[in-house]
Amino acid sequence: MRAQPSCRRRPAWELVAVLGLVATWTCHAAAAGAIKPPRAARSVHLGYPAPDAALFYTEMVVEESVNGSYFMAAGWNTGYLGVQQLGPPTNKVVIFSVWDPTKGDNPNAVKPEDRVELLHEGEGVRIRRFGGEGTGGQCMAPFAWKVGETNRFLMRGEVQGDKTAYTAWIWRADRGDWWKLATFRTQSKGSPLRGLYSFVEDFRRDTRSATERRRARFGNGWVQTVAGAWQPLVKARFTASSAEWEAKDTIDAGVRDGWFQLATGGETKTTTPLRSVMELPPSQRKAPARLPEPAAPAKPAPGPR
């Protein structure tokens, strides 16, 4: 004979136990769906409207920095040049990278004929292949930049058939000279310097780094067009990255004392809407002087190691 279902009233203690289990499950479900704290400060950029260029000159002053910061001064559509703080304030470098024309993140998977070529290796630098964010050739060297001091950068793009050779320099104030870091050549369909920009990035991304501020100003930017005329960079568009694990609202940009500003992380408050185009005030601008003289075309050296 089939047992009949019981219709007895549950004891109070049994109801309390059931309700407790429901409450515990609800709390765990809410915790699982809770918003995690951001891992990193958001990357912020300045995009400079400019004609096709043979030279890109700019200056940058780092105003606040912490471990894991990249202050990129001179970027274009196939590479960039800037300075980083890798760890303690004494662990600082200059870095110059050029991308392969291929897709993917494994540098060893790129065919030799598609890899960035090394044409010149500067004194005291380290050359290597990189991956993870695209692939290409990278030049890095110790460089004791200081907060509050002006750093000067120069990029040259020399079209050579369907390739372009990119040479990077940084000014060494203590020596009073331009340090030629490297020349990389890559397939470019004969493109000069295009898509000029700067950025500030948190690459430590350990959650705490999102609570720390990075700030820099950029100014006295110039391009020498492919026709040889100098033109100042007086406008910049403010943009930012969109990774879901970045802090969203602690970013800012602006214009102060004739410089463009970028800040991210920490207690930064937004005063300029994203995608705003900022313009420097009128002033008596002079094209940069004491630039390195063009050198004779370099012969190919062994590719990045």
Q: At a CB cut-off of 8 Å and minimum separation 6, what does 219 contact? A: 58, 59, 60, 258, 259, 260, 280
Per-residue exposure over 19-43, b if at least 16 CB sit within 10 Å of its own CB, e if not: eeeeeeeeeeeeeeeeeeebbbbbb
pLDDT of residue 120: 98
pLDDT of residue 4: 40
pLDDT of residue 14: 43
pLDDT of residue 284: 87
Please tell me the distance from the alpha carbon of residue 97 to that of residue 117, in angstroms, as a whole number. Answer: 12
Q: Which parts of the chain have pLDDT scores under 50?
A: 1-32, 295-299, 301, 305
Nearest to 297 by CA among 181, 191, 185: 185
pLDDT of residue 294: 63
Tokens linked to 227: 């026709």
- 44-279: CATH topology is Jelly Rolls (2.60.120)
Tokens linked to 145: 């930049």
Please tell me the distance from the alpha carbon of residue 200 to that of residue 198, in angstroms, as a whole number. Answer: 7
Please tell me the distance from the alpha carbon of residue 261 to that of residue 188, in angstroms, as a whole number. Answer: 31
pLDDT of residue 293: 72
Beta bridge partners of 159: 164
pLDDT of residue 7: 40
pLDDT of residue 11: 45
pLDDT of residue 303: 52
Please tell me the distance from the alpha carbon of residue 193 to that of residue 157, in angstroms, as a whole number. Answer: 6
Nearest to 203 by CA among 65, 76, 298, 16: 65
pLDDT of residue 23: 46
Which helix (H) or strand (E) element contains residue 17? helix 12-32
Which helix (H) or strand (E) element contains residue 27? helix 12-32
User: pLDDT tens for residues 41-89?
Assistant: 999 999 999 999 999 999 999 999 999 999 999 999 999 999 999 998 8
Residues found in the chain: 305
How many CB atoms are closer than 10 A to CB 272?
14
pLDDT of residue 35: 76
For the chain, which residues make up each domain, given as ranges?
44-279
